[in-house]
Amino acid sequence: MSLQPSSHPALSCADSMANATSDFLLLVGRICLAWIFIRSGWGKMFDIAAVGATFPPRGIPFWMAYIAVPAEFFGGLALLFGIATRYAAVVMAIFVIVATLTSHRYWDFTEPNAFRAQQMNFYKNLSILGGILVLFVTGAGRLSIDNMLRRRV
C-alpha cells in the first residue's frame, strides 16, 4: 500500500518508514481496535438476555441486544482478521455511536466520579470511532483475508 506523501517535503522524513511498515501497522492497529470488541462481546455472547435487561433503562428496546451483542463480537472478529473490513467498519461505527450516545452520557451525571468515568468512556469511544473510520478509508491492508480473497478473483 503506497501512502500519500506528507504535505511538505520538510515533513517527509517519516514517509518511507510509513510506506515500509504500513501493512504491518494496519494489522497491529486492527488487532488493537478489534480486541476491545472481541473481549467485551465474548462474555455477553453467553447471556444476551441479561445484557438485554440493561437496555430499556437506557432507552433501547430489549430485543436490540440480540443484534448488538453478535455485532460487537463478530464485528470485532471481522476487523481482527480483515474480512469484509469496510462493511465491518460501518457496522462497528454504528455500534459505537449508539453505545456512546446511550451508555456514556456523562452530562447526565452529577456525582463527580461517575461524571469523569462516563466522560472518559465517551471520549474513548470517539477515539475508537476515529480508528474505525480510518480502517473504512484504508481497508485492511495486505495482511488480511480481504487481500487473500481479492487475489483469488
pLDDT tens digits, residue range 86-95? 999 999 999 9
Cα–Cα distance for residue pair 106/112, rounded to 1 Å: 10
Cα–Cα distance for residue pair 151/46, rounded to 1 Å: 36
Residue 49 near residue 111, CB atoms below 8 Å: no
Residue 66 near residue 47, CB atoms below 8 Å: no
Q: Coil, helix or strand for 61?
A: coil
Residue 136 near residue 90, CB atoms below 8 Å: yes
Cα–Cα distance for residue pair 124/149, rounded to 1 Å: 33
- Whole-prediction pTM: 0.89
Q: What pLDDT digit, counting tens, does each position of 55-68 carry?
A: 999 999 999 999 99
- Give the list of residues 6+ apart from residue 74 with CB closer than 8 angstroms, or none: 41
- Give the list of residues 6+ apart from residue 24 with CB closer than 8 angstroms, or none: 143
Count of CB atoms situated within 10 Å of the CB of 73: 19
Confidence class for position 10, pLDDT limits 50, 70, 90: confident
| pLDDT value of residue 153 | 66
